[in-house]
Amino acid sequence: MNVLLDTHPLLWWLDESPMGGEAHAALVDPAVTVVVSAASVWEIAIKQTIGKLSVDGRVIDHIERNGFERLPISFEHGERAGSLPLHHKDPFDRMLVAQAQLERLTLVTRDRHFDAYDVAVLRC
């Protein structure tokens, strides 16, 4: 199994906050590739800019130190995200769904809105 971190679990992981057992086990399993989307880095940067979030240091540095893989946003990701039903109003989350679908990744999230989409989810 390879996993894509939703933004909240990424922040929890970087903050060393507790996470659900299965999700935590997946993130520390060396056989699991943990992926972070450019969409999450973008979302975090916006929240930092408007004062809704503070992260010590550069998020990219934290992601790299943890050995997580980068997932850029492709044209195909954009096309899929734009064509998804609006079960979830957040465009960042729809991008994560599209990326998880196209890249065959399990999405690590606490967000129940993802249940409306055809995407593998691991709750945290």
**Pairing of the two strands 3-5 and 121-123:** unpaired
- Given this model, what pLDDT does residue 120 score? 96
Q: Report domain extents, the chain.
A: 3-123
Q: Which residues contact 52 (CB under 8 A, 6 or more apart)?
A: none
d(CA 25, CA 60): 23
What fold characterizes domain 3-123? Rossmann fold (3.40.50)
d(CA 90, CA 63): 23
Q: Buried (b) or exposed (e) across 19-48, using 16+ Cβ within 10 A?
A: beeebbebbeeeeeebbbbbbbbebbeeee
| Main-chain dihedrals φ then ψ at residue 107, nearest 5 degrees | -90, 120
Q: What is the pLDDT along the chain (124 residues), one digit of tens a residue?
A: 899 999 999 999 988 887 888 899 999 999 999 999 999 999 999 999 999 998 888 999 999 999 999 999 999 999 999 999 988 889 999 999 999 999 999 999 999 999 999 999 999 8
d(CA 97, CA 99): 5
- Given this model, what pLDDT does residue 55 score? 87
Among positive and negative, which fits the CA dihedral 16, 17, 20, 23?
negative
Please report which helix (H) or strand (E) contains residue 5, including its range: strand 3-5
